[in-house]
Amino acid sequence: MVSNTQTKFKNFGQYGIFLAFVIICLVLALSTPRFFTIPNLLNIGTQVSINALLAFGVTFVIITGGIDLSLGSMVAVTGVIAATFAHPDTYPVIVPVFVALIAGLAFGAFNGLVITKSKVPPFIVTLGTMTIGRGLALILSKGRPVSNLSDSFNFIGGGNLFGIPFPIIILILAFIICSVILNKTILGRYMYAVGGNEPAARASGIRVNNVKMWVYTICGLLSAIGGILLTSRITTGQPNAGAGFELDAIAAAIIGGTSTSGGTGTMTGTLVGALLIGVISNSLDLLNVTSYYQQVVMGAIIIGAVVLDSMGKER
């Protein structure tokens, strides 16, 4: 009897988010006819793309038992860097993209290096680098938006391919790559091992510090991609961009079933969590619900997801 109960609860933890997503979509389709229109669905996908990219990165981190609060600041600083090199008649579009990606990799590697070498909790380290990143964005931009970007750069976040917005295409590619890394590579298996039981992982010969370096570096890279997309979409490099993005990304991962204590999580669940947040936000906009209530709804969903995660551990 106990075994059957545990199995049912585990299955609910795995598939409950998908069921909730489908039910919410059906309810919204009945309550507002505009919800299931093609333009609105593409708009949701575009809006979700940046949060989902950040959520993929932080899913890697949380699975290993860590956390990254510097995501929003990385979006800002990489966006400003990209905008600085994206003026017309200066460099080809590959230059601002490449420089921003290198900056994101460096920022993420710095997080991983400090965490693994100093043994300071990731919460404290990334809280510090969150402030550092925001300060660097303000310094590089001199506190002002960086504007006058080239059309080729703006196409990254504002263009489309065969009618599909480019951010959605990038989101799909990132999802496939991240899923392969997590499910089909040795690094992915090591992530689960480190998050599930770090001492046991060390005893089995896994280089835990190397795994953590990888996950924070990947997280920095995905944050840089998010920074490039955001800067391209709004056509300016905003030093204050990305404020609060880290909370939305962590929420998407947790809602999608990534355990806050590490060792559990999937990219599919995180994607559905990000879509769920985007769908709820979009539907509340369509229903003319103020943003204040939206924040209350999001907070309640996050608490509910953590409570379910805790109940699953107890069982």
In the predicted model, residues of the chain with pLDDT beneath 50 are 1-3, 5-12
Sorted by sequence, the CB contacts under 8 Å of residue 248 that are 6+ apart come out as 51, 54, 55, 277
Fold of 36-314: ABC transporter involved in vitamin B12 uptake, BtuC (1.10.3470)
pLDDT number for residue 312:
60
pLDDT number for residue 314:
57
pLDDT number for residue 76:
96
pLDDT number for residue 9:
44
pLDDT number for residue 3:
47
pLDDT number for residue 287:
74
Ordered by start, the domain boundaries in the chain are 36-314
pLDDT number for residue 223:
97
pLDDT number for residue 68:
96
pLDDT number for residue 4:
53
pTM of the model: 0.90
The predicted-structure confidence for 231-256, as pLDDT tens digits, reads as follows 999 999 999 998 889 989 998 999 88
